[in-house]
């Protein structure tokens, strides 16, 4: 059974501060205690999470190895898998940071303690390779983890992908294009494994890119999205024909999409909430299962007018995400 309290997450509103070294520098296969703070009145029985850092899931000639961190709950049997994809405008970011969480590995460990195997994956950024390289990396991570399901205690029939910002864009594309050979590179590893997932969670993601970049392409714009534009092969003078349609998740939102949860701040000026509204409407019109949750008074990264508003919104998004994942992936083990 899944534990029902949202156990412990470290939510320190010091954006930009790195996670404590103790949370990310443990030797491979070394058990670490899950964090110790709860967010409701229930008391969580202390448990252990095994943290395995820097697993190479893809090695392509000419590029750095693509790495993921793995968090595994105690106990035997197969567990559902959640793959987290970080944001950063396709230009920056790390598998160990997101939003205003000072200890994001602690947050992922919390989810593992609730009965999930959790993977957090790096991918090629705009300065390393253009689209669709990052999408190919995320698909490679899904295939790698399926191929190693027995080794890592994963139930390959229960896999979800969860992304934030640019990571939500990549996660949505991966979720909506499962087994679509258009994005499969030649000679990919684990080609016999499916890259389909059974659920998708998107936090403040861009899903219709033409609208997102229209302002940036307008002469005189003060927006500086050069790294993001480079990721899609664009400059301020223009883009390759059709690239935004090809790279927009709304283009693939159909009845075959997995159950989807979209969460967005109503005051987001970086990625307007209309992006999540539009994808939600497209999925529902196609007959797919989709839920939209809007959090009032906060912008990108759940940033509010003060630290308390940011913390409250961040916790609300996490509670909704964890509970929804439990409902979607709670099949018998």
What's the CATH code of the domain at 287? Answer: 3.40.50.1820
- Which entry of 165, 290, 299, 314 is annotated as an active-site residue? 165
Whether 317 has a pLDDT exceeding 80, the answer reads yes
Report the share of the chain in percent with pLDDT over 90.
70
In a domain, 221, yes or no: no
In a domain, 216, yes or no: no
pLDDT of residue 11: 39
In a domain, 219, yes or no: no
54 is catalytic: no
| Banded pLDDT at 236 (limits 50, 70, 90) | confident
- Which entry of 103, 122, 155, 268 is annotated as an active-site residue? 268
In a domain, 239, yes or no: no
268 is catalytic: yes
- Contacts of residue 263, defined as CB under 8 A and 6 or more positions apart, other chains included, come to 201, 202, 203, 204, 276, 292, 293, 294, 295, 317, 320, 321
- Which entry of 79, 86, 169, 300 is annotated as an active-site residue? 300
In a domain, 6, yes or no: no
Whether 27 has a pLDDT exceeding 50, the answer reads no
Domain total for the chain?
A: 1
Angle between helices 133-147 and 166-176 (to 10 degrees): 60
In a domain, 242, yes or no: no
In a domain, 143, yes or no: yes
**Quick one: how far is CA 6 from the chain centroid?**
19
Prediction pTM value: 0.87
Q: Which domain holds residue 305?
A: 21-208+248-328
Per-residue pLDDT tens over the stretch 128-170: 999 999 999 999 999 999 999 999 999 999 999 999 999 999 9
Please answer whether residues 49 and 72 qualify as being in contact, where contact means their C-beta atoms are separated by less than 8 angstroms: yes
Cα separation of 332 and 123, whole Å? 32
């Amino acid at each position: 059974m899944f534990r029902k309290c949202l156990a412990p997450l470290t939510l320190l509103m010091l954006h930009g501060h790195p996670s404590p070294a103790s949370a990310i520098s443990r030797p491979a296969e070394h058990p670490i205690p899950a964090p110790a703070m709860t967010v409701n009145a229930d008391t969580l029985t202390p448990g252990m999470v095994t943290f395995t850092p820097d697993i190479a899931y893809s090695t392509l000639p000419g590029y750095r190895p693509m790495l993921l961190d793995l968090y595994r709950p105690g106990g035997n049997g197969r567990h559902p898998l959640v793959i987290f994809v970080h944001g950063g405008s396709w230009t920056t970011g790390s598998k160990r940071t997101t939003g205003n969480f000072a200890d994001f590995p602690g947050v992922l460990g919390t989810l593992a303690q609730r009965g999930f195997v959790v993977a957090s994956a790096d991918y090629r950024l705009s300065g390393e390779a253009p689209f669709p390289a990052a999408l190919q990396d995320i698909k490679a991570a899904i295939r790698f983890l399926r191929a190693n399901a027995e080794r890592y205690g994963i139930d390959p029939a229960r896999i979800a992908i969860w992304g934030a910002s640019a990571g939500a864009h990549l996660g949505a594309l991966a979720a909506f294009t499962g087994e679509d050979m258009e994005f499969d590179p030649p000679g990919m590893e684990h080609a016999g494994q499916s890259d389909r997932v059974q659920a998708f969670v998107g936090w403040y993601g861009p899903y219709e890119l033409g609208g997102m970049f229209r302002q940036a392409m307008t002469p005189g714009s003060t927006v500086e999205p050069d790294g993001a534009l480079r990721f899609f092969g664009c400059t301020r003078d223009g883009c390759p024909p059709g690239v935004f349609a090809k790279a927009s998740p709304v283009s693939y939102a159909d009845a075959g999409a997995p159950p989807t949860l979209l969460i967005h701040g109503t005051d987001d000026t970086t990625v307007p909430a209309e992006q999540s509204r539009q994808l939600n409407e497209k999925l529902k019109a196609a007959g797919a299962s989709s839920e939209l949750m809007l959090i009032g008074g906060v912008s990108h990264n759940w940033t509010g007018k003060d630290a308390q508003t940011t913390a409250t919104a961040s916790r609300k998004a996490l509670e909704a995400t964890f509970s929804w994942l439990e409902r979607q992936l709670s099949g018998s083990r």
